[in-house]
A and B are shown apart, each in its own frame.
Chain A
């Protein structure tokens, strides 16, 4: 599943560690999501949407699911 986490993070000048801390996950998890190796759960996706104040579908592209 493609996502815009890396772009959104870069726009805010956050490191992976900053985002990981905000989402209460490890930096490895943020990296795995950004690189498309791991798809987040629905609660984690909602948490990211809330953090970036955006609708979930603007962050995660589920068209290839």
Chain B
């Protein structure tokens, strides 16, 4: 694969990210819902769906890494900063959230998907702040 300039590289990255992220999301939905609603918890199908989900997840990670490699140095800095902020916030939030049920601040079991939500939102906000900072 040869990509000439930044615009072409960005286009290529967006295409790959769209393909693999949407594939991963669809496969995740299949793993979550298909065993109950489609194949009545057949372990063979569930395992196949899980393997497919992990494969798409791997491709999505590689697509993200390639997208970072194809960025220019300022874009890369903005995204690295956002990753650092997102990781830190998720760690702090995750630790506190995990303790909340034990110390009777909440009466439901903490859901790990809440941390994914915080991670995604904090990443998006950090990228936006970075873009504003260097605008």
Contact = CB atoms under 8 A, between A and B. Distances in A.
Chains A and B bind each other: yes
B135 A26 contact: no
Grouping DSSP codes into helix (H, G, I), strand (E, B) and loop, the B interface class, with mixed when no group exceeds half, is helix
A32 B134 contact: yes
A3 interface: no
Interface string B36-64: 00000000000000000000000000000
Interface of A: 20-21, 24-26, 28-29, 31-32, 37-38, 40-41, 44
B72 interface: yes
Q: Which 4 A-B pairs have the closest CB atoms?
A: A25-B72, A29-B74, A32-B134, A29-B72
Contact of A31 (B72, B75, B77, B135): B135
B134 A25 contact: no
Interface residues of B, number: 11
B78 to A, nearest CB: 9
A26 B74 CA distance: 8
Given A21-B5, A24-B5, A24-B6, A40 B133 contact: no
B73 interface: yes
A24 B73 CA distance: 10
A34 B73 CA distance: 15
B5 A29 contact: no
B74 A28 contact: yes
A16 to B, nearest CB: 12
B4 to A, nearest CB: 9
